[in-house]
Amino acid sequence: MESWHHWLDKLEANGFAVRGSLKAGATDADFAALKRETGLTLPAELEALYRLADGQAGDRSYSATAYVFPQYRFLPLELAIAEWRFWQEVAEQEGAHGMAEHAEAVTVPEPEKVACEYWIPGWLPITLDGGGNSIAVDTVPLDGGTHGQIIIMGPDEDERRVLAPGIDAYLQALAAAELEFESHDGERHWDVRGLT
């Protein structure tokens, strides 16, 4: 996946050694576990990405400065399944009424074609920040949306937005964007406006 390599090259050219945090590619068994646990099948381009790298290591041998996505850790499929399961448990505990109450605060900007919901089972988190928010793949877009579109969701994200029509387009947008840099506690961090 050319867009993936271009994006990693850009991060590393700016001093962020992200390749060292990546896990080996996912296997057929990992994709079978995803299907078994969630009922979801990844879009082809996202499966291709996971076959290159099954997320980022979680042993804290790297810092947040090495995140592959803006302020988000790229989740291995095992943890993406666990995060999906967490949201599914929330939905079951809250029930339809409780989830509808949570969704009252949610907005979707026009003309984006993503469900105006707190969470639905067709969304698979593929990243995670420290507050439980995620960049997710939407496998059940509204009419006019794109299967596999990349969206933002989470308890602190009241606006459900489509970041890109798919992971390849998202990676291309990241690679084309201007990185912004800040330093905190002696560590240099990066971000990209408008893509989270």
List % helix, strand, coil for the chain (3-state, nearest 5). 40, 20, 45
Predicted TM-score (pTM) of this structure:
0.93
From first to last of the 196 residues of the chain, give the pLDDT tens digit.
999 999 999 999 999 999 999 999 999 999 999 999 999 999 999 999 999 999 998 754 455 558 999 989 999 999 999 999 999 999 999 999 999 999 999 999 989 999 999 999 999 999 999 899 999 999 999 999 999 999 999 999 999 999 999 999 999 999 999 999 988 888 888 899 889 8
Question: Cis before residue 111, ω within 30 degrees of 0?
Answer: yes
**CA distances from residue 30 to 41, 42, 73, 135 in whole angstroms, order as listed:** 11, 11, 19, 20
Sign of CA dihedral 181, 185, 187, 189: negative
3-state SS, one letter per residue, for 20-78: HHECCCCCHHHHHHHHHHHCCCCCHHHHHHHHHCCCECCCCCCCHHHCCECCEEECCHH
pLDDT digits (tens, 9 = 90+) for 115-171: 999 999 999 999 999 899 999 999 999 999 999 999 999 999 999 999 999 999 999
> Which CATH class, in words, describes the domain spanning 2-191?
alpha beta
> Could you state, in order of their start, the residue ranges of all structural domains in the chain?
2-191
